[in-house]
Structure 1
Amino acid sequence: EYGLGSKASVEGDVYSYGILLLEMITGRRPTDQMFNGGLSLHKSAVMALPDQVIEIADPRLLGDDIDGSNSSRIQRSDTAHADGLKECLNSMVRIGVACSLEPPQDRMSISDVIHELQSIKARSLQ
């Protein structure tokens, strides 16, 4: 957003955080060649929610990817761990999407982001 000439603002910082979060989860930059023709990092994340988030996740987040398919690796792991991982990734992608919404006033507040991240951490440590 700042790269497009926007002035610095809290909403712009939240947008940047959301895009950074999506970049870390997917391993892709907003300028990746796959994002053309109206597709963006934000839109691809929206389309993946809630059932395909594992498919857009960077395989390095999930450990060694034996056969190239994130979902098959998750299916091979124990059910409780797989469900927890899917829930965590879904929650993180939802935060990234909510932070990068247009228009800026629709974005998640940073205090809500912190609260959600603390909730995700608490759930994952159970």
Structure 2
Amino acid sequence: MLTGELATRGKASTASDVYSFGILLLELFTGKSPTDADFTGGLTLRSFVSLGIPRRVISMTDPKLNLLDAVAKQQEEEEKEALVRCLVSVFKLGLLCSEECDKDRPQISEAVRALTLTRDAFLPLEPSLVGNDTLLQIKLDG
């Protein structure tokens, strides 16, 4: 799936990279490709996600991510809601990054920051990332 500016100008840009990043997020979390056979009659990956937020966010998430099992194991309603809010945040970021008009997309540094904030807000620290009480950090140059 080419962005409009990539198809017309014939060259990649940081804006087209952001678009690709957004589509990649949507593909990873839905398990569907933009060319999936389910997308007919004007339905696209973007519209599939947009129509599913927030009510169908769990059912439209790729079953290979085992989120239905994770939700079933959650004892507290608050934990289930936190997982749904995390997914909604990721899907909304994917939609924002894959806006048709390149001027409506965030800068990649803003997208990475949003994804990092989502991770930090909703997911516990992985023990493998923590050693000697120090969290390993990867710095991104903007």
TM-score (norm 2): 0.74
Letter of the 1:74 partner, please give it: V
1:125 aligns with 2:129: no
What residue in structure 1 maps to residue 31 of structure 2?
A: 27
What residue in structure 2 maps to residue 53 of structure 1?
A: 57
What residue in structure 2 maps to residue 106 of structure 1?
A: 104
Q: 2: CA distance between counterparts of 1:94 and 1:100? A: 10
Q: Higher Cα Rg: structure 1 or 2?
A: 2
What residue in structure 2 maps to residue 38 of structure 1?
A: 42
Letter of the 2:78 partner, please give it: A
Structure 2 unmatched ranges of 5 or more: 126-142
1:8 aligns with 2:12: yes
Count of residues in correspondence between the two structures? 119
Q: 2: CA distance between counterparts of 1:61 and 1:84? A: 16
More helix by share: 1
Q: CA deviation at 1:76?
A: 5.8
Residue deviations 1:30-65 (CA, integer Å, cap 9, x gap): 0000111111001111111122211110111125xx
Letter of the 2:36 partner, please give it: D
Structure 1 unmatched ranges of 5 or more: 64-69
Q: Percent identity?
A: 36
Q: CA deviation at 1:77?
A: 2.9
User: What pairs with 1:53-92 in structure 2 (closer than 5 Å)?
Assistant: 53-63=57-67, 70=68, 74=71, 77-78=74-75, 79-92=77-90
Q: CA deviation at 1:73?
A: 7.1
Taking only aligned residues, the RMSD between alpha carbons, in angstroms, comes to: 2.3
Q: CA deviation at 1:74?
A: 2.9
